[in-house]
Amino acid sequence: MEQMQQIGIVGCGLSGCAIARIVALAGYNVHISEISQATLDLAFQKSSTFFKRESMRGALNKEDMQGTLSRIHGTIDLHDLADCDLIIETLPENPEAKSHIFQQLDAICSPNTIFISHTSSLSIESLASSIRSPERIVGLHFLHPIHQMKLVEIIKTPFVHSSVLETLLAFIESLGKESIVVKDAPGLIVNRLLIAHLLNAVRLLESGIADIEDIDKAMQIGCGHPMGPFRILDYYGLELICRIADNLYQEYHDPQYQPPALLLEMIEKSLLGRKVGQGFYTYSDEFVE
């Protein structure tokens, strides 16, 4: 892993920011690419807030906080990622947008650069087939909250070179994470189970069998889950869960992945979850993962 120093990240939404922070904490230089300076500025502001919070609770000293922040760099020019050893794309679950980014990266980066798509519901094989060097692209799925959850799902395609997979396994270990390797199947393990669970919770609410708090309590106390389904929905964002569910339904045609009417109504009303202050619950604090 000594030769890997420069890590690129495309997109600084919830996942992109959180991944950038753990990668910088592990000692790597991180280069985040976004389409606007305003988006980058907000990401840096949230990262600063996150590290200050970690410092206040004793998880990080001031020197480590400052050193980590100094290793995170932002750019609005994708070409600035050309010299990165590994690039993690963290765009929303849109196959066309992801393919377009990888085609651009394929044209400007070294043949040795490893490409990662952060996804849980899209085909990595399809993304790989859109570039000239499909053997260097792998999928990853970090679980949220990324700084707390230890598991990372690695999505292996038939094209990927064994050396790429070995490098990626070592990289994930260097972040303090554990990995599992899964075949290229939309939803992988975690989301194929989790999305059905979340949508069924909404259907239970629609049926009137219980209220939000009691359904959450049932899963937390009764099943030992750290968060109830409605807290999870709010945490991830309702529109993201719906987008993943739609992708899974298109792939498997399984009715358990069809978003319930209540979920669609809430998205239409922009009740998207914690990031906007209102979802199934109401929030007054700033959301910083």
For 53, the 3-state DSSP assignment is helix
pLDDT, tens digit (0-9, with 9 covering 90-100), for 34-83 = 999 999 999 999 899 888 888 888 888 888 889 999 999 999 999 999 99
Do 139 and 226 share a domain, yes or no? no
DSSP single-letter state for residue 11: -
**240 shares a domain with 271:** yes
Rounded CA-CA distance 183/233 in Å is 26
Per-residue pLDDT at 286: 61
Query: Do 240 and 148 reside in the same domain of the chain?
Result: no
Q: Residue 159 and residue 71: Cα distance in Å, rounded?
A: 33
Flag whether 288 is in a domain. Answer: no
Same domain assignment for residues 171 and 238: no
User: Are 133 and 161 part of one and the same domain?
Assistant: yes
For 239-262, the three-class secondary structure string (H helix, E strand, C coil) is HHHHHHHHHHHHHHCCHHHCCCHH
With respect to residue 228, please indicate whether it lies within any of the assigned structural domains.
Answer: yes
Cis check: omega of the bond before 145, within 30 degrees of 0 = yes
Query: By C-alpha distance, which of 207, 124, 107, 218 is closest to 164?
Result: 124
Residue 84 belongs to domain with CATH number: 3.40.50.720
| Domain presence at residue 282 | no
- Distance between CA atoms of 187 and 18, rounded to whole angstroms? 21
Q: How far is CA 111 from CA 117, 200, 214, in A?
A: 17, 45, 53
Final residue of a domain: which of 162, 183, 204? 183
3-state SS class at 149: coil
**Which pTM does this prediction carry?**
0.86
Same domain, 134 and 159: yes
55 domain-assigned: yes
Spatial neighbors of 117 by CB under 8 A, at least 6 apart, are 88, 89, 98, 102, 124, 127, 137, 138, 139, 140
Give a yes or no: residue 204 inside a domain: yes
285 falls within a domain:
no
Identity at 106, one-letter amino acid code: D
Q: Does 121 share its domain with 200?
A: no
Which amino acids are annotated catalytic?
120, 141, 153, 191
Confidence of residue 214 (pLDDT cuts 50, 70, 90): very high
Main-chain phi, psi angles of 207, to 5 degrees: -75, -15
* Strands in 52-165 per DSSP E: 72-75, 86-89, 114-118, 137-142, 151-156
Residue 251 falls inside a structural domain = yes
**36 with 168, same domain?**
yes
CA distance linking residue 147 with residue 124, whole number of Å:
24
Residue with the larger pLDDT of the pair 4 and 207: 207
pLDDT, greater one: 166 or 60 = 166
Question: Which residue blocks in 28-161 are alpha helix, DSSP H?
Answer: 37-56, 62-70, 95-108, 124-128
For residue 52, what are the domain limits? Answer: 6-183
Q: Are residues 214 and 132 in the same domain?
A: no
Do 260 and 145 fall within a single domain?
A: no
* Distance in angstroms (rounded) separating the CA atoms of residues 184 and 153: 11
How many CA atoms, within 13 angstroms, populate the side-chain half-sphere of residue 288? 16
Overall domain count for the chain: 2
Q: Are residues 28 and 171 in the same domain?
A: yes
CATH of residue 211: 1.10.1040.10
pLDDT mean over 151-180:
95
Boundary residue ending a domain (136, 154, 183): 183
Residue 215 CA to residue 58 CA, distance in Å, equals 34
Question: What are the angstrom distances between the C-alpha of 83 and each of 5, 36, 68, 285?
Answer: 10, 21, 20, 38
- Residues 110-116 have a mean pLDDT of 95
Per-residue pLDDT of 11-32, as tens digits, reads 998 899 999 999 999 999 999 9
Which of 165, 183, 201 terminates a domain? The answer is: 183
Specify if 286 maps to a domain: no
What is the rounded distance in angstroms from the CA atom of residue 138 to the CA atom of residue 117?
Answer: 6
> Are residue 15 and residue 104 in the same domain, yes or no?
yes
